[in-house]
Amino acid sequence: MADIPFDKRDGFIWFNGELVPWADAKVHVLTHGLHYASCVFEGCRAYNGKIFKLREHSERLINSAEVMGFKIPYSVEEIDEACRTALKAQNLVDGYVRPVAWRGSEAMGVSAQKNKINFAVAAWEWPSYFDPEQRKKGIRLDIAKYKRPSPETAPSHAKAAGLYMICTISKHAAENNGYADAMMLDYRGYVAEATGANIFFIKDGVIHTPTPDCFLNGITRQTVIELAKRRGIEVVERHISPEELSSFSECFITGSAAEVTPVGEIGPHRFTPGKITSTLFEDYTAEVRGGAPVAARA
């Protein structure tokens, strides 16, 4: 399935209120979302037939649209149900779910005040965002050329398509250099995140993670912070300079697609996946699959 182009796959996609055959879920080449990036989306994972933290994802999608100046014509409850319907239509128990909303093709130009707001949900099987063998020993990250912009210059707290332009450029550059992904700095030169995931560092038993003031405070990020606190592990959110990287012993990234992924290398800096990373990996796996709470296992 992984080698089949996405427009050639079988099944159904929830599209503007109904399930349509996968191949028929099309938009026009002059849709505003394609030309001017007036598009927001979410990425959720389903485990054992249940979409993890679906309500939080649906609420963030609506908020992202509001930041972009449009209103999705469905309620949070309707978006939740559309996601569940799309997952079921694909007969998936474990899978990835992508709700997306965008301005249509009714008018072309920067202004799109009267363009229709479209909404769709697709679901597919996506076992691991990174190569499983690389993930075991810790993936390698390059350091990206592009930086996360100031919230005064871009809607950095929306999960908006246009913000991922520099992520794609940076990930491609990293892959071309033999890395799995790239770490991005922010406009001030502080550590920000990977191209599609938040980042954490560990030193002397304490977790340090960048303050999400110009990038998404990821739902997986929030979950992992809560899991760490349940374990009694101190979490410090602060600005982290690149010069500090060599002082950390462990590093991992988090995201709905990436889940909890150990990092073994960032440019010239080396890390060894250790106890805290493996514990949070296990705790997160149990959390998303409805396992015993940390307190019961500790």
Catalytic residue numbers? 159
Please state whether beta strands 259-266 and 139-143 pair in parallel, antiparallel, or not at all (unpaired). parallel
Q: Where are the beta strands (DSSP E) in 177-223?
A: 181-185, 191-194, 198-203, 206-210
Let me know the angle formed at the C-alpha of 255 by 21 and 94, rounded to the nearest 5 degrees: 45
The DSSP output letter for 180 is S
Q: What gap in Å lies between CA 116 and CA 104, rounded to an integer? A: 5
Sign of CA dihedral 133, 135, 181, 58: positive
Axis crossing angle, helix 219-230 with helix 275-288, rounded to the nearest 10: 110
**C-alpha distances in Å from residue 182, one per residue of 76, 119, 171, 194:** 33, 31, 6, 6
Token pair for 173:
């550059």
